[in-house]
Amino acid sequence: MDLLLCLGALAVVFLLWIKCKGVEYVIVHQRWIFVCLFLLPLSVLYDVYYYVRAWLIFKLCSAPKLHDQRVRDIQRQVREWRNNGGKTYMCTGRPGWLTVSLRVGKYKKTHKNIMINLMDILEVDTSRQVVRVEPLANMGQVTALLNSIGWTLPVLPELDDLTVGGLVMGTGIESSSHIYGLFQHICVAFELVLADGSLVRCSEEENSDLFHAVPWSCGTLGFLVAAEIKIVPAKPWVKLHYEPVRGLENICSHFHEASKNKQNTFVEGIQYTLDTAVIMTGTMTDYAEPDKINRIGLHFKPWFFKHVESYLKRDVGGTEYIPLRHYYHRHTRSIFWELQDIIPFGNNPLFRWLFGWMVPPKISLLKLTQGETIRRLYEQHHVVQDMLIPMKQLQAAITCFHQNINVYPLWLCPFLLPLSRGMVHPKGEEEELYVDIGAYGEPNVKHFEATASTRRLEKFVRDVHGFQMLYADVYMDREEFWEMFDGQLYHKLRDELGCKEAFPEVYDKICKSARH
């Protein structure tokens, strides 16, 4: 009873403090309080509901039947929009706060919202080595199911909440991309509802122009209702080698050599300063040495990027065996390293043991509760960017990042960019090795200004024939945007399929200077 009275008294004092300071003050300056007390428990309930739902639907084999009904409903909505005169553009009815992107899409308020309730895994065909999924199925669902039956995606982006639709219409990458390419390159077919309400399937052999134009189009060619994606046999362990490297030239050389070696199933780098990094190479294996097992995904384990940094501090390499699913979602618990800015003590051993099982808070809930004040602060004092650079320009790119934003750690992920007729392809006539440089955090340069600093990065990326991931804030004007991306096939299909009256151009949908 005394304990309950004490807790009650603390709760009253806490509520009075919030009333005195104001809710906005607490959310902005002491955000960890709100996150720990409200968002973490809500995130757990959110996850439990969707995982149980997905498991039941798949086990009862009801997903394909429900899928057909739901697709017909999407077609009905599109035809109704046409019959009513098509006075505004269409977009998905999914709320903007549910997306992993930090961008706030105001177009949801002015466009016709088409409700798309498609979040299931439809079929796993091991004979064809293909999984057929709906667009709102996320990577957490996919790995939970596929790994349990001995299969996996060749490219499986880290964060649990990334959806198939977002990865198809935008892009996705993983440390196996130096072999398989981007997420779009492991897709074998898409099913879309077009602007006239028709349902079409496209692949390399069928409607191939549309198949190549869909990736990076951000939902401006039609509504994705299903995707067929390659799967490969999985092994239970990843044998991961950590190698600390010093000196920028040495880092780039080692990283390039590791990325060219196709014997490495996984290649990744985390750069902690301009001159220090840890390069990781891994392979899948059936067996693990018991004394080298590290179940890094357990809630009480150190955040992965901190664990990797320990090899740099000790200046010694090492090898570990990590369960496959733990490896795939190694950056999930700390949202790479973004969570240290939200919960500064999140990697403390006591916090991990007591509350680590609730981490991370859902990115969608963080967006929903951030408010305009925090959004403006993040925009002006925080960087979240992924720039895709030719590997041969890696040293120049890191130097450019250091001079303009000075954000560390940097995430380095190599990928093979094959020839394509779509928006993103190499400049030459053959496939080329690229690298994704991910910068997530607070800039440490005195002259940082979000628009000007990002535009300098964007110009460098254009000059070396690189690309900017479109989930992030894009500051280019229209001419600069189409200098970076090849819009020839995209614009041709928008004319042929009647998209200009139905969907905004991708530039108008995602770029800050055009967004409304």
* pLDDT tens by residue, the chain, 516 residues: 565 666 565 556 556 655 665 555 555 556 777 787 788 888 888 888 877 876 776 666 666 778 999 999 999 999 999 998 888 999 887 776 667 666 666 777 788 898 988 888 899 999 999 999 999 988 888 888 898 899 999 999 987 888 999 999 999 999 999 999 999 999 999 999 999 999 999 999 999 999 999 999 999 999 999 999 999 999 999 999 999 999 999 999 999 999 999 999 999 999 999 999 999 999 999 999 999 999 999 999 999 999 999 999 999 999 999 999 999 999 989 989 988 888 889 999 999 999 889 888 887 777 777 766 677 777 778 899 999 999 999 999 999 999 999 999 999 999 999 988 899 999 888 999 999 999 999 899 888 898 999 999 999 999 999 999 998 889 999 999 999 999 999 999 999 999 999 999 999 988 876 554
> What DSSP designation does 115 have?
P
pTM as predicted: 0.89
The neighbouring-strand residues paired with 187 are: 229
Phi, psi of 280 (to 5 degrees): -115, 135
The pLDDT of residue 65 = 73
The continuous run of DSSP H or E covering 70 comes out as: helix 63-83
User: Residue 290, preceding bond cis, omega within 30 degrees?
Assistant: no
Region of residue 181 (phi > 0: left; psi between -120 and 50: alpha; otherwise: beta): left
- Angle CA(173)–CA(137)–CA(412) in degrees, nearest 5? 15
Residues 183, 360, 453, 101: is their CA dihedral positive or negative? positive
The C-alpha atoms of residue 97 and residue 91 are separated, in whole angstroms, by 14
Write the CB contacts of 156 (distance below 8 Å, at least 6 apart in sequence).
139, 142, 143, 174, 176, 328
| Cβ contact 165:120 at 8 Å | no
Q: Where are the alpha helices (DSSP H) in 298-370?
A: 304-314, 324-328, 339-342, 349-355, 363-368
Phi, psi of 114 (to 5 degrees): -100, 120
Between β-strands 237-246 and 276-285, what pairing exists: parallel, antiparallel or unpaired? antiparallel
Rg (the chain; Cα; Å) = 23
| Cβ contact 435:413 at 8 Å | yes
Q: Is 247 helix (H, G, I), strand (E, B) or coil?
A: coil
The C-alpha atoms of residue 463 and residue 465 are separated, in whole angstroms, by 6
**Residue pointed to by tokens 């299931």:** 120
- Angle CA(467)–CA(472)–CA(475) in degrees, nearest 5? 75
The pLDDT of residue 15 = 60
For 19, 28, 39, 453, the CA distances from 370, given in Å and listed in that order, are 18, 8, 11, 24
Between β-strands 151-152 and 90-92, what pairing exists: parallel, antiparallel or unpaired? unpaired
